[in-house]
Each structure stands twice: as C-alpha cells, then as structure tokens.
Structure 1
Amino acid sequence: MVFRIAIQLRYYRLVQNKRLSRDASRWLCNRTSFSSCQRHRMKYSLASTIYALSSGHGKCGVAVIRISGPNAAETIINIAKLKSLPQPRQALLRSLKDPVTNEPLDRGLVLWFPGPKSFTGEDSCELQIHGGPAVVSAVLTALSKLPGYRPAEAGEFTKRAFHGGKLDLTEVEGLADLIHADTEAQRKQALIQMEGNLSHLYNSWRETLIKSVAHVEAFIDFSEDENIEDNVMAIVKNQLENLKNSIQSHLADGRCGERLRDGVRTVIVGEPNVGKSSLLNVLCQRPAAIVTPVAGTTRDVVELHVNIGGYPVIIADTAGLRTETSDEVEKEGILRAHAYAQKADLVILVIDAAKYVAQMEKMSSVYFDSYVNSYINELQLHSIATRNNTFESECLTGEKLLRTEGSAGNIVDEVCGSGKCGNPSRENPCLTQSRYRRHLTDCVACLDEYFKVSSTGGDTVLAAQQLRKALRHIGKITGHVSTEQILDVIFKDFCIGK
C-alpha cells in the first residue's frame, strides 16, 4: 500500500511538472496498472484450445490426453457425449465417440478442470484412454475435428500456466529439471525448486527492492515538503546492505546447485596402460571403453554419464599422459586430456603401484605426495593429493575395486555429497541456473553503484535508477519482467504435452 501510494503521488507530481520521460512512463505504467502475468492472461484468454498426448509415447496400459483452452468444454459435450459438464475433478467412465461420424473410439475416463483451478489456469480436461497407438491416434484425430482446436507445441501447457500466473519462471524451470532428472539428488533439488522455495527467496529480495525504490522515490519528491522521515535514506541503506550480503552469500555456493543439475565433470588421468579404461568400465558397469594390453589404445576423450550414489557424474576416460611419442594422433589425445582436466570438477589419477613402488614400505606419504603432485603441477590443477584419497584396486578383474571400502565410486560419492553438489534443502534452496547467477551478479553490481553514487553525494535520481535496474534483474529471474527471447530459451526443451 505504501509503495502504491508513493508511486501514484510520484506519477501525479511528474505529470504536473511535465517531466514524465518515456522510460519513467513505461515503468510507472507497469507498476500501477497490469502486471506482466495479467497482461499475458488477457492475451491468452483469446487463444486457441490445445491438445496433446501428455503421457509417454508407445504401447502402454493407459494414455493421458490433455486439453486446455476456452473451448475445452467441447471435448466433454461432443466426444464424451455428456449433456452437461460433470463435477470438477471427478472421473467418469464414458464411451468416447468421433464428433462427426459418431463412431466409437474407446472407453475411458473423463476429467473436467474448470479454470482458474487447473494446471494452466484455463478450462481444461483430460481423457485417460487405453494406450495402444491406434487408440491414441484415433482420439487425437477426433479432437482435431473440433473448431478452434489445434495440437499443442512443445512446452505450451506449462507456458500457459506461466502466463496464467500459476507458475513463475523458477518454478517452470524446476518442473523441467524434474522431468529430466536422472538421479535421486537431481530429483530432490528439482522438486524443491518446483514447489517454489527458490521463488519465495527471490521474491522476498524483490519485495525489499520495491520498498527501497518506493522510499527513495518518495524522498526525491517530498523531502523538501518535510513529509518524509529524516532517516528514511539510512533505513534504505541498511536494508540494501543486508540484501547485498544475502545475495552474495547465495552466490558463494561453489556452483553446487548448477553442478548437481548438470553433472559433476570427472576425468580419469594417468600414464598409458595403467588401467584407466578398466576403471571407467567398472564405474559404468559395462564395457564402454576398449581395453587392450597395448599402450596408447585410448586416443580421444570417452565421456559417459553415470549415477554414483544418487549424484550425476560425467566421467571421462582420456589418453595416457606421456611426453615421448611420435604418434600425431596420440599427441592430440594427450592435449585433449590436459584440456579436459582443466575444466573438470574432480580428477581421478590412476597409477601402477607395482611399477613405481616395488615394495609397499617404500610408498611413504612423502614419496607418494611428491609423485602425485608432480602430475598435479603438470596439469596445473589446484588440488592437494594425500593417501587418504587413494585406494588399491585390481582393474584386471574389477573384483577388488567393487569390494574395497574406499573404492572410486565411494570416493566420488563422498566428494559429490560433501562439497561438489552440496545438499539441497527447502530451508536453503540452491542456485541451479547460470541465468540466475548472471542476473544476481548484475543485481549486486547495481547495488554497488547505488552505494557509490549515494555515498559521494551524487544525484539521488541517478542512484534510484540503479535500484530500478537491480529490481529488473531480479524480475527477469522469476518472470515479473521478461522478454519473448527469455521465454523461448526456457520452454524450448519441454516435451510435447507438457
């Protein structure tokens, strides 16, 4: 209420003084009239009715066809042949018929979801039919005969839910991540985000910025009239400093959420013929890489996605590292191994204990650390290897590797869980997208610029503009301020029917 009154007063003051610029007019219009979601809701209220198979393709026991749009009730009347709409969210067993020929199509369940209490916010219904390809095709063909109906595009149901104000962009992206989750940790993180925990955090920051903008705007216009408290700018400064600290703490997460979403990049390095490919095969539990007694068998980077302890791991086998080789192909493979190791989150160094340590008592910690760190220096990695992070293995059979308590799988699992991927929770939701990181970093930069201008006695109007820019960056994350290009990027990876 305070914000709206301040904005309306500022709007009146600007109009009276004829100082309303194009940018200010657009900003004030957005704040005092319709929100972004409301404007899109008006747009989509005139949209066509869409339909699609929302369950998996291929033969299955039950297939779900989803319909959404202003004419969704026509499905109930013309295909389910009901004279009136059924009770919302109650399943009815009906014989489905072609709306033109009246030919029976199937016998299935019909559910009615009137807007706005539906996934998209529009009138919607679902047909749960038998999952044979011929049955699904016949029902989809029948739907195409209804006026105003068309097949849905990829992600269009979720896009309409966003435009209808049912989901914001962080929840939309959480839903997409949930659909594509391959591991338990990914599922947990995506579900937390889809439920709105990350959205609540960012919206709380947005509300703080809105209040700060309102107070600064009120100070600009009414401070001379002595209608504003003397300490209002000090209050704003304190709020913004706390906000900046919260955002910076959120950013200083070591990219745990992004790494969990995309996978921990792990590389296996070592000299030729020490068992790197054998180790990869054991971790993947299949013969993914060729293994021979010939040194230099692996020439290129072999990259695979595996699930270790519930965490997503992108593990790569590389060419053996050695300096003396005349094979140009092997040289290129070694260069690629070095390049991949620079970008890896975790490096597994494989050594031949029998070759380099004739007797176990000679493997002192000093000798071992010196040997391992020579590789680390060669790869220019900032890691410290100790014997606590090693394990003994028989890669010829893989049996001892699987039995060893400190096996590579357990080490990767421990590293992922302890730091690389973090532990997502509802109390501390993780930053999961590089898009979020970019906008939050820009938001902090705008806050720094505000502090710089205000502390040096600069123009308060210019300082307020930095707060508006910071507010816009937060809004771009949740979708309160958006462009069609941002929406296209987000929704392009959704499947048809979702």
Structure 2
Amino acid sequence: MILFTVPKYWECIASGQQMIDMSSWLSSIIAGNGFASLYLSEVQNKASYYNENNQQGIKWKHVQKIRPSYLVFACMPNVYVEMLRNLKIHNKTVIKTIELIQKCSFESSASTIFALSTNIRNSGSAIAVIRVSGDETLNVIDSITNGKANHIRAKPRQACLNDYVDPNTNELIDKGMTLWFPRPKSYTGEDLCEFHIHGSMAVISKMLTVIGNIRGCRSAKEGEFTRRALMNGKLQLIQAEGIRDLINARTENQRRRALSGLSGMLHLKFNQWREQIIKLMAHMEAFIDFGEEEMIGDDVMKELNVNICNLKKEIDQHVANTKLKSDFIKDGLHVAIIGQANVGKSSLINKLTEKDVSIISPISGTTRDVVETWMDIDGNCVCIADTAGIKDADHSNVDPIERQGIQKAIQRAKECHLIIMVVDADQVYRHKKLIISDHLKKIIEKKSESELLFLVNKIDLVANSDKRQELASILAKNQMSKPIYVSCINSEGFDDFIQQFKQKIEHNVGTNEDLIAFSNERHVMHLTETSKELAITMKNLDKDLAISSFHIRQASYHIGCLTGDITTEHVLDVLFKDFCIGK
C-alpha cells in the first residue's frame, strides 16, 4: 500500500501538521494506488481531527513500530481490527494504537446532527417533527426540556409531553411530544430523539435555532440520518436506495418497486450471486496453488466453466428482462399524441386528463409546441404529450413557427415509448381515403404494434351504420389494423380506448408479478461489468488461470459494490444527495 508505507505521512499526523500542507503530497502518493484512494477522504478527516484533538493517547513511537501495510486497517470499520488478530498480530500495543487511530478517524464525523424531518408548507402544518441523532442527544433533550432528560430517558420509545424552552432565556417555545430512542435500537444506531411540535414556521425556526446553538450539534446534510444507519449496520446499501426511491415514489408501482429494494429482496438476489462468485474464486485459487502438484482433470475445469457460464447467463437475463421495465416504472412511460392538424389531439389529452391541458380551437395549427402532463394510470407513471399537427415540409401555408412545432412533434414521436395516432373520421369518410403526411407514415412504419394505438376520432360525425362500415373498409385498404373509434364530444368508444391504452402500458411496463426491478442505473452498470469480467474469466480459463482468477476477483468487486460490502465516499455522496435533509 503506497499511501501507508511512507512514515512522513504518519509523522505529519502525529505532529499535528495542517492538512493543507499535505494535500498535494497525498495526491501524488495515491496516483498509482486505487485501493488507497478509497480511504483518502477518511484519512484526511482523521488527520484534520488530530490537528484539533491530539488527546487520544496515541504515541508516535508506537505508530512508527507498526508495519506500514497494517496501518490501512486504521481507516476501516471495527471489523477489520478482528482481522488483525486473525493475521496473528498479537502485539497489544499495536492493536491498541490502531484502535485509537481508528477511533479518531470516525469520531471526526460523529457530531450530533439535527434536522426537520417533515415537509412543511409556507402556511405551516398541524405537526412538525425535528429529529436529533448523536452522542449529545440527551444533552439536547435536557437543555430544551428544562432538565427533564432523566425522566424521558427512563421511558424509551414512549411519547412524553414536555414544555420546550430556550435554555439561554428560559422562554417557552412550544409544548410537544418527545420520543427517545437509545442506541443501538434506533433508526441510525445512535442515540436518537424526535420532537413533535406544532408546525408553524415560527415554532420550527425557533426550535432549530435553539438546537443549533447547543454545543456539539450541527445541521444534518442530505440523507445523513440514513447514511449513519447504513454505516452502523442498520441498513443495507440497497435498502438505503429503496428508502430514497420510496420517498420519491409518485405512483403505486413506484412504491411497490421501491419496497422490493427496501424489503431486502434485491440484496438477497445480489448476495446469492456474490456467494457463487466467491465459491468459484476459491476453486480457482486452489487450482493455482495445487495445480503443479496435482493434475487438474478436464472434467473439473469443464464443470468450472459451465458454472461461470450459467451464472453469467442468469445475470444477463436478469438485466435484459428488467432494465427497460424498471426505467418505465422509475422515470415513467412517455406517450405522444400525433396526427394531422385539427384532428382532435388536444381534445383527446384534455379528455384523458379531465383538465384543460391544451387550448382547443377549430382553427388549424393551434398547438405549436409540445404540451405534456403526467398521469397515474393503474399505478404507472405516464407522461402524455400533445403535439403540433404534422404536415409535410413543403406545405404552402406552413409558417416558420409552425414548422418548428412540427419538427418538435416528429422528434418527440421518435423518442417516446408509445404513440397514439389520431385521424379525423369525418375527413376520412368525405375524402374516401386516409390523409396523412409522409412524416407520419415514416413514424408509423418504424413503430411496432406494441408501440402504437390507432385512434379514429370524431366518430359522432359519422353516425350512420352504413357510413361506418364504409369508413372501416377505407381504413382497412390503408392497412390501418385494429382502429379504435372514439368521440371526445359524447365519449363514445372511450371506455374501449382506455382499456386498450392500459393494455399497451402493461405490455411495456409489466405486471407486479414480473422480475424484481433495479432501483437505478448503478445496479445495471455493476451487473454489466460483472458479466464482462465473467466473460473474460471464461475466455482465459484454458489459457492462463492466473488471469482468469484476477478477472473473477473483479467480478466479485462489482457485485460487492451492489451488496454494500464495497463502498466509497463518492458512491455514498451520489446516493444520499437526492435524500431530503431530515431523512
């Protein structure tokens, strides 16, 4: 470990030298050491903490005696101290020194944090919840309840009615409920409390100000409560992602899929794959160690290759079957309503949403831009876009603004997941043919049946049954199969349209019984990389077992990034930046 083999680094820490003097030196050291870079952020925190609090009884002479490669354990969670003992490191001074260094490393981020955990409108709300977590939680309770901490401490997980006061002036702030959750049986794994107060902006502001003035307390960052729960083993990484997705869920299916991560189903699946990879890795290591002494049979290598191949197929199938459907559930299914001008596209979107989304006018070309709205259809998030009427580019009365609207409509039609193609029933019947632009024909040709709904609007204008039969014959000649006849005026055929629309959505998104969906693109990325590493492993299995062993270790790394066995500060920062402050 390059970073930990230079005594100067530890001498800088022990002497309390400022981190700013070491930053460029550290950067050059980690340039060729990816493993060390994972811990650079924590090392910097530790060094910064030493600058202010060099009172942990750490002696430089003891640090100097520790083998440099072991010092890496000082920057890892406590479980790695046990690994030192497993490595037959029995020197008590060495172990104690590393434990002290480690303690400093993590104490630097052990401030007591607080935040408002409920979303409050400007007009206020009935109740607001302020959450506090950390070592100073009891002190916070004692300060603002006028010395009632012992009474509250005796009643963990029970609601206690208290007066909240400003400890500096003894002024009454509010009367509310206090809930105390002692470590480790709390959401964060730390001492935690919740203050349930009245939800006026004045009360909330005063409470947050008073808590912020108590020594050792600071405002929480985005998702910091959940981050601490993760670091303290109260949650798995995928469960933390599930919480984020649950908070952001807008539809029933988004809620269900978020709960699949929160319930541990995803973690179980990924962990099973990781265990298989570790088992395969162990076999390969054994072959490398004993291969020269004992000949490895062809049947053994063949079985190993089959096991790797089966695992790769399972991962690939999982990615292929769930990635697109998961994107639909998480980001929504995008639908474009297209057609010639004045065929009733705007009337359709207004009818669907039961509100005035688009302007309706008998004047051709009223809609000039893409107008979109979101709907929850059977628990699915659907974005429906009304577009400008699509005419051919050489149409004589197309002005520059309308031309731009047509281009946007064409682009949206190409990008969307589902198209609702609208034609005017009366126009088709009167002209005895289907009138659509070349642009529309090209768009339709490139869409599969599952991506297209053909809607014949204004059927109320073709009331006679004989006329409707003739209309159906005209459409059949133009190869427009399975048309849906509707009227946005009298709602004729609308129930049939809604039913078929829902079927198309279900076909694209899937049902609740489908495979578990991924929470985000991070899962897809790591599983794709895992599959690539397994492919390289198989390719080199008969050529060079050492190369195969390296790549299957890389596969284990990527799966470990999903299960949470391997994390970096960057991964956690990206995950928790989308959380609300009080979660």
Q: Which runs of 5+ in 2 are unaligned?
A: 1-31, 39-68, 81-101, 455-479
Give the Cα–Cα distance (whole angstroms) in 2 for the partners of residues 381 and 320 of structure 1: 19
The SS at the match of 1:191 is helix
- Which residues in structure 2 correspond to 1:246-395 (within 5 Å)? 246-253=314-321, 255-323=324-392, 324=395, 325-358=397-430, 375-378=440-443, 380-384=445-449, 390-395=483-488
Q: 1:437 to 1:389 in 2, by over 3 A?
A: farther
Whether the aligned pair in 2 keeps the contact of 1:390 and 1:406 (CA below 8 Å) is: no
Deviations 1:131-185 (A, max 9, x none): 2222222221221121110111122112222222222332222111111111111
Candidates 286, 290, 305, aligned match of 1:237: 305
How many percent of aligned residue pairs carry the same amino acid?
Answer: 38
| 8 A Cα contact 1:216 1:233, kept in partner | no
Q: How does 1:9-88 map to 2 (within 5 A)?
A: 43-46=105-108, 47-58=110-121, 59-80=124-145, 81-84=147-150, 85-88=153-156
Work out which of the residue numbers 202, 227, 250 in structure 2 matches 1:182.
Answer: 250
Matches within 5 A, 1:56-135: 56-58=119-121, 59-80=124-145, 81-84=147-150, 85-135=153-203
> Deviations for 1:239-279, whole angstroms, at most 9, x for unmatched residues?
32221121111112261112111100111110011111111
Q: 1:468 aligns with which of 553, 559, 563?
A: 553
Cα distance in 1 for residues equivalent to 2:341 and 2:313? 49
Kindly state the Cα deviation for residue 212 of structure 1 after the two structures are TM-superposed: 1.7
Query: Which of these residues, 509, 518, 532, is aligned with residue 445 of structure 1?
Result: 532
Shift of the 142–222 alpha-carbon distance from structure 1 to 2, 3 Å rule, reads: same
CA distance in 1, matches of 2:539, 2:113: 51
Q: Using the alignment, how far apart are the partners of 1:107 and 1:308 within structure 2?
A: 43
Alpha-carbon distance in structure 2 between the residues aligned to 1:217 and 1:64? 54
8 Å contact from structure 1 (residues 86, 112) kept in 2: no
* Counterpart residue number, 2:43: none
CA distance in 2, matches of 1:42, 1:259: 45
Asked if residue 482 in structure 1 is aligned to residue 567 in structure 2, the reply is: yes
Partner of 1:7: none
The one-letter amino acid of 2:391's match is R
1:428-449 per-position Cα deviation (integer Å, ceiling 9, x unaligned) = 3112322222221121111111
Q: Compute the displacement of 1:452 (Å).
A: 0.8
**Structure-1 residue corresponding to 2:22:** none
SS at match of 2:129: strand
1:207 positional shift: 1.7
- What is the distance in 1 between the residues matched to 2:293 and 2:236? 40
Structure 2: distance between partners of 1:75 and 1:57: 23
Distance (whole Å) between structure 2 residues aligned to residue 261 and residue 24 of structure 1: 33
8 Å Cα contact 2:237/2:562 also seen in 1: yes
Supply the distance in 2 between the matched residues of 1:167 and 1:376 (Cα, whole angstroms). Answer: 53
- Aligned partner of 1:274: which letter? V
Task: Tell me which of 491, 494, 507 is aligned to 1:404.
Answer: 494
Q: Cα gap change, 1:193/1:24 in structure 2, threshold over 3 Å: closer, same or farther?
A: closer
Deviation at 1:378, TM superposition (A): 3.9
Q: Provide, for residues 27-84 of structure 1, a one-character-per-residue CA deviation record: whole Å limited to 9, x for no partner.
A: 9989999977968998555421110110121322221110111221212322232252
Question: Which moves more between the two structures, 122-131 or 432-441?
Answer: 432-441
Counterpart amino acid of 2:508? K
Structure 2 counterpart SS, 1:400: coil
Pair 105,24 (structure 1): closer, same or farther in 2 beyond 3 Å: closer
Quote the residue 1:6 is aligned against: none
Counterpart amino acid of residue 490 in structure 1: L
Query: Cα 1:103–1:26, aligned 2, differ >3 Å: closer, same or farther?
Result: closer
Find the aligned partners of 2:307 and 2:228 in 1 and give their Cα distance. Answer: 35
Matches of 1:372 and 1:320, distance apart in 2? 10
Aligned to 2:281: 213
Q: Indicate the structure whose relative CO is greater, using CA pairs within 8 Å and at least 6 residues apart.
A: 1
Partner of 2:510: 422
CA contact 2:246–2:258 (8 Å) conserved in 1: yes
Change (3 A) 1:424 1:432: farther
The 3 A distance-change label for structure 1 pair 31 and 428 is: farther
- Larger mean CA deviation between 321-330 and 343-352 belongs to 321-330
Native 8 Å contact 2:116 2:582 kept in 1:
yes
Against the structure 1 CA distance between its residues 31 and 295, is the aligned structure 2 distance closer, same or farther, given a 3 Å change threshold? farther
Q: Contact 1:38 / 1:164 at 8 angstroms: preserved in 2?
A: no
Structure 1 residue 191, shift from structure 2 partner: 1.6
Q: Is the 8 A contact 2:390 2:439 kept in 1?
A: no
Q: Give 1:352 deviation, angstroms.
A: 0.5
Go from structure 1 to structure 2 and tell me whether the alpha carbon gap of 1:38 and 1:87 turns closer, same or farther (over 3 Å shift): farther
Q: Quick check: 1:35–1:480 contact (8 Å CA) kept in 2? A: no
Contact 1:257 1:422 in 2 (8 A): no
Is the 8 Å Cα contact of residues 278 and 291 (structure 1) preserved in structure 2?
yes
Count of equivalent residues: 463
Structure 2 counterpart of 1:156, from 210, 217, 224: 224
1:431 is matched with which residue: 505, 518, 524? 518
Residues 191-219 of structure 1 show CA distances to partners (whole Å, capped at 9, x for unaligned) of: 22222211211121112112222221222
Distance 1:130 1:256, change over 3 A: same
What SS is found at the alignment partner of 2:495?
Answer: coil
Q: Which residue of 2 aligns with 1:16?
A: none
Q: What amino acid is the match of 1:475?
A: G
| Shift in alpha-carbon separation, 1:465–1:411, aligned structure 2, 3 A | same
Question: Which has the larger displacement, 333-342 or 41-50?
Answer: 41-50
**Structure 1 residues 380 and 478, CA gap change in structure 2 (3 angstroms):** farther
C-alpha separation in 1, matches of 2:120 and 2:34: 49
How much is the aligned-residue C-alpha RMSD, in angstroms?
Answer: 3.3
Q: Secondary structure at the match of 1:115?
A: coil
Partners of 1:213 and 1:464 within 8 A in 2: yes
* Closer, same or farther: CA 29–350 of 1 in aligned 2, 3 Å: farther
Which secondary structure state, in structure 1, belongs to the residue aligned with residue 484 of structure 2? Answer: coil
Contact in 1 for aligned 2:245/2:258 (Cα 8 Å): yes
Q: CA deviation at 1:128?
A: 1.1
* Change in 2 beyond 3 A, CA 1:476/1:271: same
What secondary structure sits across from 2:141 in the alignment?
Answer: helix
TM-score (norm. length: structure 1): 0.84
Worse-matched range after superposition: 86-95 or 375-384:
375-384
Pair 1:143 & 2:211 matched: yes
Q: Which is further off, 210-219 or 443-452?
A: 210-219
Question: Is the Cα contact below 8 Å between 2:335 and 2:384 reproduced in 1?
Answer: yes
Secondary structure of 2:540 counterpart: helix
Matched, 1:497 2:562: no
* Partners of 2:222 and 2:579 within 8 A in 1: yes
> Does structure 1 residue 193 correspond to structure 2 residue 265?
no
